[in-house]
Structure 1
Amino acid sequence: MQDTPPVAVLRLGHRPGRDERMTTHVGLTARALGADRVVLAKAGASRSGTIEDITDRFGGPFAVETTDSPIGYLNDWDGPIVHLTMYGLPVQEVEDEIRDAHETEPILVVVGAEKVPWDVYEEADYNVGVTNQPHSEVASLAVFLDRLFEGEELDREWKDADRHVVPQEAGKRVDEE
């Protein structure tokens, strides 16, 4: 995982008043499960502070960017584009090919909010379904990143963390530095 090119997650769209938690959770999931950065549509920029705050407290590295043109960002991407959609090929059928591509090239993982324009399906190198059933883009992102990194992201070391969760069988413990 550490010797591979970056993985960026593009949150394609954001419906103010409706997607606040979902956009935040896309960013937090991307961070926790191995992506290097999340790119939010300008409408979702208000969520960047929460994601940056978590990174500041619990460690990184992880970057949050915003864009006025998510489709332009996607079109300018230099590397494979993975669009997570329930209409795509099953993740288990394409994960090895995507992992092989990621050995030498940065990957952009695209997750939608509102209806995804047809251009995204055409621009993507991989339209990937984590099941072909309706469910959350956060769930798709989590499963996809875990498959991409083959579980290595679960043992990641966090740098510059002010707080550390101490795993235990019962209760909650967070040590602060």
Structure 2
Amino acid sequence: MTSAADQRREACAQKTTAELDGLAARGVRAGGNAMSPILVAKGERTADEVAGAEPFLGADGAALKASLKALGYAPEDWEWLLTCDDAGEALAAPLLREAVCALDPATLVCCDDAAAAALREAYAEDLTIIESFEEAMLEPGYVVQLCGMRVLNLGGFADALADPRAKQQMWARLKRIPPLGEPY
């Protein structure tokens, strides 16, 4: 016999699966732990990803996983989202917003300017009420409170991996978004 709590968890998992399946059918590519508190988004795909590889399996994914683990996130506790379709075109703003809402992260990290631009379009109205221009434009390095999420634009994470100074800058930016609860 299953408890009421188990039934609620199962219903929540089924709802999330149905939402993600519906989004995938409309061209949204996402993966990882759909119940994660942190969502990593990118709009610029690597050559391997264009050829069909899953996003974040290369050096950028390894570096992000290591960084998030060092901050206190559980190694399996993150999810990813592409802000572009298979042709490389930005997702329509309403579709992107629906995907972010379905994944419901506490923290959203834009790995590149293409992801930040897509997010700016999807949340344009919400960003207009933010007083700081840099935060409203999702400038790299600023942590922005947006619709109940912390949002951080890293501003070129994959490109920064080739430059030690730029890597340090990415690490300094990531340290601004530690886990909101107890570390794992």
Q: TM-score range by the shorter chain?
A: 0.3 to 0.5
Q: Decide which structure has greater strand share.
A: 1
TM-score with structure 1 length normalisation? Answer: 0.35
TM-score with structure 2 length normalisation? Answer: 0.34
Q: Compare relative contact order (CA 8 Å, sep 6+) and give the higher one, 1 or 2.
A: 1
